[in-house]
Amino acid sequence: MIATQLPTGAARRCQVMGIINVTPDSFSDGGRFLDVDAAVRRGLELIRDGADILDVGGESTRPGAQRVSEADELARVIPVIEGLARSGFPVSVDTMRASVARQAVAAGAVIVNDVSGGLADPEMLPFLAEADVTCVLMHWRAHSTRMDDYCFYDSVVDDVCSELRGRVESALAAGVRAERIVLDPGLGFAKNAAQSWELLASLGRLRDLGFPVLVGASRKRFLAEVTTYGRREPDVPADRDEASDAVATIAAAGGAWGVRVHSVSGAAAASRVAARLRGATVDAGLAGAWAGRR
C-alpha cells in the first residue's frame, strides 16, 4: 500500500509535485488533459517519471485568464482525483474554491493548493481547519485578469514575506494547524520577471518564515530570458523545461519542501541529488512502489 499521508514538516527529500492541468487554456499544457482518461494516464506517467504528489487543477491561472464556473471546475477535477486517489497516489487539488476543495478531499485529495492563500474564498480557511489537510498557501494579490496591475512592492522579498505572514496568521486564527501549512512565494503572480528572480534568490528568507516552502517556477514567463539565448522568435513554454530543472535543483539544494513542475524527471533527479548530498538515503519514491505492485 502506498502511503497517502505526506510529510508536512521538513520533508526528508524535496517533494516533486507533478502538474495535471485539466483545463482548455493553461499557458503551457492547456487542452491536453481535458479528457478524464488522458488526465489519469498523464498522472501515471508523472508517477513513473518520479513525481511524489500529483497536483490536479481545473482552473487556469495564467495572466488574463477568466474564472471558470464552480460546476465546470468540479466536472473537470473530481473524476481525475477519484481515478488517481483510487490507485493510492497522493493527490493535491489546485483550487481557490472551498466547495471544490471539499469535494476533492472527499474524492481522496490529501493536499489543498490554494494559489490565493485563502483570500479568494472566505470559506476556504475554515474548511481547511475542519478538514485538517495539508494546505499550500501561496502569495497572491488579485485574480488573473488583474494580477499584472499589482506588481508594486517597496521590497518584493520583504513585502511577500510580510503578506505570507498575514496569511499564516489568518489561517491559524481560523483553526488551521501550523503543521499543515506550506508556503509558496507565487512566482509570476503579481510579480514581474525581476521580482520573480529576486524571490527565487531569497529562498532562505522565505524558509525563515518557519514553514515548508513550495517553489512553482516550471515553464513560467520569467524563465524565457534564460531560454531564448537572444533568438528572435519567442520560446514556447515547453522550451523552458531545462531552465525549470535548473530551478528545481537550486530549490532542492536550498531546502525547499517541494517543487511544482510540468515535466518531472529532471526535478526528481534534482531532489535525489540534493538529498544524497545531504547524506540522506535515496529512495525510489512512488515510482518504485508502483512498479513493485505490478
Work out whether 196 is an interface residue with ligand PMM (CB under 6 A).
no
Chain centroid offset of residue 142 CA: 18
- Assess whether 191 carries a catalytic annotation: no
CA distance 215 to 75: 28
Residue type, 240: R
- Kindly state the helix (H) or strand (E) to which residue 193 belongs, with its residue range: helix 193-200
From residue 153 to residue 192, the character string flagging contacts with ligand PMM as x (rule: CB under 6 A) and all else as - is: -------------------------------x-xx-----
The residues in 230-269 that bind ligand PMM, with binding defined as CB under 6 A, are 260
Work out whether 21 is an interface residue with ligand PMM (CB under 6 A).
yes
Integer-rounded Cα radius of gyration of the chain: 18
**Sign of the dihedral through C-alpha 75, 131, 188, 12:** negative
Work out whether 141 is an interface residue with ligand PMM (CB under 6 A).
no
Residue span binding ligand PMM (CB under 6 A) among the ranges 56-64, 172-180, 200-208, 266-274: 56-64
Name the minimum Å distance from CB 99 to ligand PMM: 18
Nearest residue to ligand PMM by CB is 216
Report the length, in residues, of the chain: 294
Residue span binding ligand PMM (CB under 6 A) among the ranges 22-30, 39-47, 82-90, 285-293: 22-30
Strand-pair partners of 182: 136
Residues 174, 125 contacting (CB under 8 angstroms): yes
Three-state SS for 244? Answer: helix
| Catalytic option among 13, 97, 167, 220 | 220
Name the minimum Å distance from CB 65 to ligand PMM: 8
**Sign of the dihedral through C-alpha 200, 204, 207, 208:** negative
The catalytic site residues sit at 220, 260
| Contacts with ligand PMM, residue ranges (CB under 6 A) | 19, 21, 26-28, 60-62, 94, 113, 115, 136, 138, 184, 186-187, 214, 216, 260
